Amino acid sequence: MRFQNTPIRRKLMTMILGTSGVVLFLTCAAFIGYEFLTYRRTAIRELSTLGEIIATQSTGAVAFDNPHDATEILSALKAERHIVAACLYDKQGRLFSRYPADLPDGDLPLAPMPDGYRFIDGRLVGCTPLVQVKGSDRLGTLYLGSDMEAMYDRLRLYGGIAVLVIALSSTVAYALSRFFQRQISLPILALADTAKAVSDRRDYSVRATKHGTDELGLLTEAFNHMLAQIQEQNAVLEKRVRERTAELEAANDELEAFGSSAAHDLRTPLRAIKGFTDVLLDHRVGDLPPEAKRYVALIRDGSAQMSQLIEDLLSFSRLGRRELARQTLNVERLAREVLKELEGEYRGHRVQTRVAQLPDVDADPALVRVVFVNLLSNALKYSRTRDPAVVEVGVVQKSDEPSPVFFVRDNGVGFDMSNADKLFGVFQRLHLAHEFEGTGVGLATVRRIVERHGGRIWAEAAQDAGATFFFTLPKD
Amino acid sequence: MAFLTAIACGGKWWVVGRWWTVGLFVLCALRATAADSAAVAPPSAEYQVKAVFLFNFAQFAEWPARAFADARVPLVIGILGDDPFGAYLDELVKNEKIGERPLAVRRYREVKDIVGCHILFVSRSEAARFDRIIPVLKGQSILTISDADAFTRHGGMVRFVTDSGKIRLRINVEAAKACGLTISSKIIRPATIVTAGKD
């Protein structure tokens, strides 16, 4: 797992432990390094001192050629177990006496080395001159060789101590870091939990616990404050939406009530107009001059048209109030039935009708029937100038629509796509009334039905090249 | 350098004298020859060691302050009687110093000639006269050394004894002390301490 993805708790502990561990390691390394260098110097000094002592004692034995005594003096070196070789050379540099007494020649330099002590091949070796009187010639030379075991012993000891110290300190650092990391991680974790709870449950009433007044405390406070603001704004918005909805509902109810009562009230005088013009044309047609007879006929047609308009308006406004009665509906059969019903409208024209295989939907049958009646009668109406007129009902599957897309296509006059947005508005008409009769309510009704089913309706057309109306009827 | 050294070598005055009229270059060249001739006939190995020992005594003994007029006065190694060392001893002490003090070798025929001497080797040739010689030297702070048998018995301070091919020391510490001399304990260790009247 990458470091930036590890939990903050572990990250903090890793940081604390890593830092303290590195610091500790470097300290120990520096200490041991310093000790190593110091010890080398000390070892040289100590061996030089020992050399001085032995050399001073040996002068007599060498000066008066007594190897036996010299060996005896050298044998005192056995008290210093790190001295592995020692010997005396006489004035001429000849080997005079050695320690240990049975040391092979190979372990000793053939001739004295330069005075002083130095590290060679892991050993501290060197020579001290034998001088009896300061300023006089040397009487001989003492060679001493010491192994580095003393130093290695010491370094091992220090290494052991360092490991112990690091182990102990790491344990303590671990315990301390566990304790201290809480100071930072707990508020952050609490904050993270709260944020998650808020986003998961969309519950803006929860609050993060504040652990102190540091930056994290401020952050927590700011976070809580933000939550409070969101909660408050939500409440305000909800209240406003409720108010607006209520207002709209009231206005809508009022409007619909007004509309239906107006329509009802308008129907009464219309019935009188229609009734009396009928009477006039049926029974008194002989009494009327031909001019008046034509006028009366126009009055009757006008009142019939108005009556139709009122009917349409009433049924449109009723759509808003009606509950949807969804049930499984065989769309194909419905489309065929509607086409059959509309046969009368195109008697005398050559019309080809095609209904594809259509899937069942879950919808209100009465309303879907209204949709097909409107769309098919429009198709027949606007294609009646064609010979033959072609009207087609089908279905396609579109990638951006989860439910099947039904369509009704004709090869009629079509319309200009720049006016497509006006198509589904109430009383919006794209053609002149004397060319194609209609009230301008049909497509508005269709759209309302489709939208009440949760679907979408749109049209594609071109001037004089037919029109296609697409719509969907999602399950719910 | 070689010339001056030759002058210092008392025993070779005749060499200098014979060639004195010759040019300095020839003289210098033959100084080497003279030194070689001294080396050609060295003393026996035994006396070479004894010569070295004599020289070493200069380092391992201390004289009272009155024994030297000042710090520059040489430490004199004297030989009484027949000289068994020849030029070897002279060569040995040449250029050597005990601290600041140079060394000199002198040869004496009679005990009365001895003045300002610090280490006196009494030759075996004098063995018959030890009883007369040693009392004369008493009180002069002279370290007396000999390789003759009865030397320490007669009150001499150091005697060289040959023991299975090795030369050992017999030291009469009391006699040395009586003359104000201090012999380093370091050579008393390898030596055998004797007292007067004993070997």
- Band of pLDDT at residue B191, cut at 50, 70 and 90: low
Whether A8 is covered by a domain: the verdict is yes
What are the two backbone dihedrals, phi and then psi, of residue A206, each rounded to the nearest 5 degrees? -75, 155
Whether A327 is covered by a domain: the verdict is yes
What confidence score (pLDDT) does residue A441 get? 80
First CA to last CA across chain B, in angstroms? 45
**CA A395 to chain centroid:** 38
Nearest CB neighbour to B53, from listed A61, A64, A69: A64
Nearest CB neighbour to B99, from listed A63, A135, A139: A135
CB-based contact A472:A450 (threshold 8 Å): yes
B167 at interface of A, judged by CB pairs closer than 8 A? yes
CB-based contact A60:B186 (threshold 8 Å): yes
What confidence score (pLDDT) does residue B65 get? 86
CB-based contact A113:A128 (threshold 8 Å): no
Q: How far apart are CA A34 and CA A367, in angstroms?
A: 97
pTM equals 0.54
Whether A283 is covered by a domain: the verdict is no
A360-377 b/e (C-beta count within 10 Å ≥ 16 → b): ebebbbebbbbbbbbbbb
Spell out the per-residue pLDDT of chain A, length 476, in tens: 678 888 888 888 888 889 988 998 999 999 989 988 998 899 899 999 999 999 998 998 898 888 888 998 999 898 888 899 999 999 889 998 998 988 888 888 888 889 999 998 888 999 999 988 887 788 899 999 998 887 888 889 989 999 999 899 889 989 988 888 888 888 888 888 888 888 898 888 888 888 788 888 888 899 889 989 998 999 999 999 999 999 998 998 888 788 778 877 888 888 888 888 888 888 877 788 888 888 888 888 888 888 888 887 777 777 766 777 888 989 999 999 998 888 777 777 788 889 999 999 999 888 899 899 999 988 888 888 888 889 999 999 888 888 899 999 999 888 888 877 788 877 777 776 666 777 778 888 899 889 888 899 999 988 888 899 999 998 76
What confidence score (pLDDT) does residue B24 get? 41
3-state secondary structure A283-351: HCCCCCCHHHHHHHHHHHHHHHHHHHHHHHHHHHHHHHHCCCCCEEEEHHHHHHHHHHHHHHHHCCCCE
Q: Which residues of B touch A76 (CB under 8 A)?
A: none
Confidence check on the interface: ipTM exceeds 0.85, yes or no: no
A91-118 b/e (C-beta count within 10 Å ≥ 16 → b): beeebbbbbeeeeeeeebbeebeeeebe
Last residue of a domain, one of A114, A143, A160: A160
Check whether B72 has a pLDDT greater than 90: no
Q: Which residues of A touch B186 (CB under 8 A)?
A: 57, 59-61, 132
B150 at interface of A, judged by CB pairs closer than 8 A? no
- Band of pLDDT at residue B196, cut at 50, 70 and 90: low
Helix residue ranges per DSSP H, A64-148 = 67-75
Q: How far apart are CA B96 and CA A54, in angstroms?
A: 24
What confidence score (pLDDT) does residue A47 get? 92
Q: How far apart are CA A243 and CA A236, in angstroms?
A: 10
Whether A213 is covered by a domain: the verdict is no
Smallest CA–CA separation between A159 and chain B, in Å? Answer: 45
B100 at interface of A, judged by CB pairs closer than 8 A? yes
Whether A197 is covered by a domain: the verdict is no
Last residue of a domain, one of A160, A184, A202: A160
Helix, strand, or coil (residue A472): strand
Helix, strand, or coil (residue A393): strand
| Rg of chain A, C-alpha, whole Å | 56
Amino acid letter at B159? R
Contact residues for A98 (Cβ-Cβ < 8 A; gap 6+): A71, A74, A85, A86, A87, A88, A108
Answer yes or no: do B189 and A139 touch at CB < 8 A: no
Please give the structure tokens belonging to residue A243. Answer: 């108010």
Check whether B78 has a pLDDT greater than 90: yes
Look-up of token digits 């020692």 = A86
Q: Which residue of A has its CA nearest to B56?
A: A63
Check whether B38 has a pLDDT greater than 60: no
Answer yes or no: do B187 and A133 touch at CB < 8 A: no
Q: Which residue of B has its CA nearest to A64?
A: B53
Answer yes or no: do B186 and A65 touch at CB < 8 A: no
Last residue of a domain, one of A160, A191, A218: A160
Look-up of token digits 């930036």 = A4
Whether A309 is covered by a domain: the verdict is no
B191 at interface of A, judged by CB pairs closer than 8 A? yes
Evaluated on CA atoms A66, A70, A72, A73, the torsion sign reads positive
Query: How many domains is chain A partitioned into structurally?
Result: 2
Smallest CA–CA separation between B186 and chain A, in Å? Answer: 5
A389-396, strands of its sheet edge to edge = A351-355, A389-396, A405-410, A467-472, A457-461
B98 at interface of A, judged by CB pairs closer than 8 A? yes
Answer yes or no: do B56 and A64 touch at CB < 8 A: yes
Question: Which of A64, A97, A132, A139 would best serve as a mutation to test chain B binding (most B beta carbons within 10 A)?
Answer: A64
Please give the structure tokens belonging to residue A164. Answer: 């112990």
What DSSP designation does A177 have? Answer: H
- Topology, domain B45-194: Rossmann fold (3.40.50)
Strand partners, A145: A85, A125
What DSSP designation does A93 have? Answer: S
Residue A393 sits in a domain of what CATH number?
Answer: 3.30.565.10
Answer yes or no: do A133 and B189 touch at CB < 8 A: no
What DSSP designation does A115 have? Answer: B
What confidence score (pLDDT) does residue B44 get? 86
- How big is the A-B interface in CB pairs under 8 Å? 55
| Cα angle for residues A303, A305, A307 (degrees, 5° grid) | 70
Helix residue ranges per DSSP H, A64-116 = 67-75
Answer yes or no: do A60 and B187 touch at CB < 8 A: yes
Q: Which residues of A touch B189 (CB under 8 A)?
A: 60-61, 69
Answer yes or no: do A64 and B184 touch at CB < 8 A: no
What confidence score (pLDDT) does residue B190 get? 53
What confidence score (pLDDT) does residue A87 get? 94
What confidence score (pLDDT) does residue B39 get? 45
Please give the structure tokens belonging to residue A120. Answer: 């060679």
Strand partners, A362: A328
What confidence score (pLDDT) does residue B41 get? 66
Query: What stretch of H or E contains A120?
Result: strand A116-120
Q: How far apart are CA A185 and CA A191, in angstroms?
A: 10
Answer yes or no: do A63 and B187 touch at CB < 8 A: yes
Query: What residues does each domain of chain B span?
Result: 2-40, 45-194
**CA B188 to chain centroid:** 19
CB-based contact B50:B167 (threshold 8 Å): yes
Contact residues for A243 (Cβ-Cβ < 8 A; gap 6+): none
3-state secondary structure B104-153: EEEEECCHHHCCCCCEEEECHHHHHHHHHHHHHHCCCCCEEEECCCCCHH
Q: Range of A446's domain?
A: 323-472
CB-based contact A182:A157 (threshold 8 Å): no
Nearest CB neighbour to B98, from listed A59, A136, A139: A136
Q: Which residues of A touch B48 (CB under 8 A)?
A: none
Amino acid letter at A153? D
Whether A349 is covered by a domain: the verdict is yes
Nearest CB neighbour to B99, from listed A57, A61, A136: A136
Residue A84 sits in a domain of what CATH number?
Answer: 3.30.450.20
First CA to last CA across chain A, in angstroms? 45
What are the two backbone dihedrals, phi and then psi, of residue A32, each rounded to the nearest 5 degrees? -65, -40
Q: Which residue of A has its CA nearest to B185?
A: A60
Smallest CA–CA separation between A133 and chain B, in Å? Answer: 6
Q: How many CB atoms lie within 10 A of CB A187?
A: 21
Answer yes or no: do B97 and A136 touch at CB < 8 A: yes
Look-up of token digits 């719509």 = A471
Q: Which of A215-229, A275-289, B5-19, B158-172 has the lowest mean pLDDT?
A: B5-19
| pLDDT tens digits along B124-140 | 998 888 888 888 888 78
Nearest CB neighbour to A64, from listed B97, B99, B190: B190
Q: How far apart are CA A426 and CA A416, in angstroms?
A: 18
Answer yes or no: do B99 and A133 touch at CB < 8 A: yes
Answer yes or no: do B96 and A136 touch at CB < 8 A: yes
| Among B residues 68-97, those touching chain A with beta carbons less than 8 Å apart | 96-97
DSSP, residue by residue, B49-80: HHHHHHHHHHHHEE--GGG-SSTTSPEEEEEE
Q: Which residues of A touch B97 (CB under 8 A)?
A: 135-136
Smallest CA–CA separation between A44 and chain B, in Å? Answer: 27
Question: Which of B53, B56, B158, B163 would best serve as a mutation to test chain A binding (most A beta carbons within 10 A)?
Answer: B56
User: pLDDT higher for B14 or B158?
Assistant: B158
Q: How far apart are CA A48 and CA A144, in angstroms?
A: 9
Nearest CB neighbour to A60, from listed B49, B98, B186: B186
Q: How far apart are CA A6 and CA A2, in angstroms?
A: 7
